[in-house]
């Protein structure tokens, strides 16, 4: 757990340190004031309070109660929800009238006690009947406490379609390749595959995760529809500049905790909040950053707020050449 916390803090940028500090300070202030007013109530003389001094303790207790209720919701309700996000766009690189259905899963973070939720997510994925399954990293929290069992439970429920994966920033210690390849899911380590799915030629590239800004290799067949898989969203501009049509990433968990009007508190990505969650377009390229299914493995509270677990179905409709 200590190694995980060190990695977590190493990925944080200055803005995220500020947001985290303000969040912790605000939380301590609310609970500290609530406790202080509670103790003061028993020490106070019988003289009644009036005006602002009378309303302030009630306001603080109300804020503390609301905070507690929201925390309980974020801890016990939202993590067990599941949303299916759908992204639809057109491409001239696919035949007119053809639709390619891609299922994107990421950040499983399998751990003991999550078996039922992960199995339900995999069953929902299978019901979508995708043509291709794509996974973008962070599959296990560790090798202990039932995490491999939970991950295998998830894998066994996935649809039986061609599947490819890349590793995440937890992959260095908890390499998922043996689990994935046992079920026919190929892990790509900065490799390109030329595929034919339902007669449609595709170029697929899976990049090993990096915090730097590497040069993305040029396309082999730029006339084919190209899919780029990476764990970190920060590589999207380079992938778009290289001509990849679809960029898929995870890592941020959508922030895992989001605030209305602000979004993700923390993303741990090199580009901060620029690509924190959802669909983006750069030139002719579409990117999707998936909020994932799991939660941080660092020992921090297992919570999600305004950012439930998700799987993403991406439907690409052809507007180009007529099929032969």
One DSSP character per residue, 99-144 reads: EEEEEEE----B-TT-HHHHHHHHHHHHHT--SEEEEES--BS-SS
What was the pLDDT predicted at 119?
92
Map residue 267 onto helix, strand or coil. Answer: coil
Alpha carbon of 181 to those of 164, 185, 187, 249, 306: distances in Å?
Answer: 10, 5, 7, 20, 34
CATH superfamily of 83-318: Metallo-dependent phosphatases (3.60.21.10)
Are the C-beta atoms of residues 190 and 206 closer than 8 Å to each other? yes
DSSP annotation of 88 reads: E
Q: Judge whether residue 274 has pLDDT over 70.
A: yes
Q: What is the mean pLDDT of the chain?
A: 88
> pTM for this one?
0.91
Q: Judge whether residue 202 has pLDDT over 80.
A: yes
Q: Judge whether residue 99 has pLDDT over 90.
A: yes
With cut-offs at 50, 70 and 90, classify the pLDDT of residue 82: very high
Are the C-beta atoms of residues 134 and 102 closer than 8 Å to each other? yes
Alpha carbon of 10 to those of 5, 110, 181: distances in Å?
Answer: 8, 22, 31
Q: Judge whether residue 323 has pLDDT over 80.
A: no
**Beta-carbon count within 10 A of 179 CB:** 20
Domain edges within the chain: 2-76, 83-318
Q: Please tell me which of 33-37, 147-151, 257-261 the model is most confident about, judged by mean pLDDT.
A: 257-261
| φ, ψ (nearest 5 deg) of residue 136 | -125, 40
The token duo for 206 is 């899976």
Cα-Cα-Cα-Cα dihedral of 33, 36, 42, 47, to 10°? -60
DSSP annotation of 264 reads: E
Are the C-beta atoms of residues 221 and 200 closer than 8 Å to each other? no
| More confidently predicted of 310 and 37 | 310
């Amino acid at each position: 757990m200590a190694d995980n916390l060190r990695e977590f803090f190493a990925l944080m940028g200055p803005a995220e340190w500020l947001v985290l500090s303000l969040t912790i300070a605000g939380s301590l202030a609310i609970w500290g004031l609530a406790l202080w007013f509670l103790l003061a109530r028993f020490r106070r003389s019988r003289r009644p309070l009036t005006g602002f001094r009378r309303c302030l303790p009630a306001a603080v207790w109300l804020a503390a109660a609301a905070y507690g209720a929201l925390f309980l919701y974020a801890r016990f309700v939202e993590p067990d929800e599941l949303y299916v996000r759908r992204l639809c766009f057109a491409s001239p690189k696919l035949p007119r009238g053809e639709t390619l259905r891609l299922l994107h899963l990421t950040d499983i973070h399998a751990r003991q006690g999550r078996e039922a939720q992960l199995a339900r997510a995999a069953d929902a994925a299978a019901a979508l009947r995708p043509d291709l399954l794509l996974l973008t990293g962070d599959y296990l929290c560790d090798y202990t406490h039932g995490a491999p069992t939970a991950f295998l439970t998830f894998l066994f429920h996935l649809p039986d379609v061609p599947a490819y994966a890349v590793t995440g920033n937890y992959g260095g210690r908890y390499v998922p390749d043996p689990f994935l390849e046992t079920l026919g899911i190929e892990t790509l380590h900065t490799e390109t595959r030329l595929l034919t799915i339902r007669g449609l030629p595709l170029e697929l590239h899976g990049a090993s995760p990096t915090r730097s800004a590497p040069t993305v290799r040029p396309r082999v067949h730029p006339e084919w529809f190209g899919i780029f898989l990476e764990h970190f969203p920060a590589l999207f501009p380079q992938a778009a500049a290289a001509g990849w049509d679809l960029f898929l990433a995870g890592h941020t968990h959508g922030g895992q905790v989001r605030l209305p009007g602000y979004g993700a508190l923390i993303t741990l990505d090199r580009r901060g909040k620029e690509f924190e969650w959802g669909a983006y377009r750069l030139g002719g390229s579409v990117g999707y950053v998936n909020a994932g299914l799991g939660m941080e493995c660092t020992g921090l509270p297992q919570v999600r707020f305004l950012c439930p677990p998700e799987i993403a179905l991406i439907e690409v409709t052809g507007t180009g050449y007529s099929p032969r």
